[in-house]
Amino acid sequence: MDKRERIIRAAVEVFRDKGIEGTKVSDIVRKAEIAQGTFYLYFPSKLSVMPAIAERMARQLEETARRHVKPETDWEGQLLQLIDAVFEVTAEYRDVATLVYAGLSSTEHVREWEDIYTSLYASIAEMIGRWQEEGHVRTADPSALARLVVGLTESAAEQVYLYDAYDPVREQEQKEELRVFLRNALRE
């Protein structure tokens, strides 16, 4: 496999296990099964993996959303599909998201974060735009709604996955509450 890709994958795992301070480049390269020096052929510094992870996350979120949400389903069904997508990706990246977020904000990568999420927000905004055209969702700036929807859904997913005690029943309840919450928040 492509070495750059292996580094990113390994970094995600190590960050998840050891947190932001606890992660050493040596851990990443060990997991990626490459040499210490090879890391620096692909990334100029330890923290510069962060934007790459963030991008991967955002891209994956976008794709998963696109894959889950079926245009033929009615809008409330699509809403649920969107929720499923966000939960799925959040579960995969668990608290890595937070770490990456913190890692980005501590360095000078904040701008990149905005860029990375722009496309995701646009994608969701477009979806909401279609619901508005079909008369299901109230009139409001779809971009603004997209940000609120994504933020809320990620927050709800984190509440389920972030803590040790993961509980599948709790996950279903949370999704259901979120679905009703969002339907009400958005509908005409």
Dist CA 44 CA 51 (whole Å):
12
Residue type, 55: E
- Are 46 and 74 within 8 A, CB to CB? no
The minimum distance between CB 25 and a copy of itself, in angstroms, equals 13
- Are 48 and 8 within 8 A, CB to CB? no
Contact between 41 and DNA by CB under 7 A: the answer reads yes
According to DSSP, residue 39 is labeled H
What are the structure tokens assigned to 119, written together?
């496309």
The minimum distance between CB 20 and a copy of itself, in angstroms, equals 5
The minimum distance between CB 72 and a copy of itself, in angstroms, equals 26
The residue count for binding a copy of itself (CB under 8 A) is 47
From the list a copy of itself, DNA, none, pick the one residue 41 interacts with, judged by a Cβ distance below 5 to 8 Å according to partner type: DNA
Query: 44 φ, ψ to 5°?
Result: -70, -20
Contact between 24 and DNA by CB under 7 A: the answer reads yes
Tell me whether residue 41 or residue 110 sits nearer to DNA (CB atom). 41
Contacting residue, 107, 115, 122, 161, with a copy of itself by CB under 8 A: 107
The minimum distance between CB 35 and DNA, in angstroms, equals 3
Contact between 16 and DNA by CB under 7 A: the answer reads no
Task: Give the interface segment with DNA, choosing from 23-31, 85-93, 146-154, 163-171 (CB under 7 A).
Answer: 23-31
Name which of 104, 100, 82, 68 is nearest 156 in CA terms: 82
Tell me whether residue 41 or residue 180 sits nearer to DNA (CB atom). 41
**Residue 117: CA count within 13 A, CB half-sphere:** 14
Contacting residue, 5, 17, 26, 138, with DNA by CB under 7 A: 26
What are the structure tokens assigned to 12, written together?
């995600």
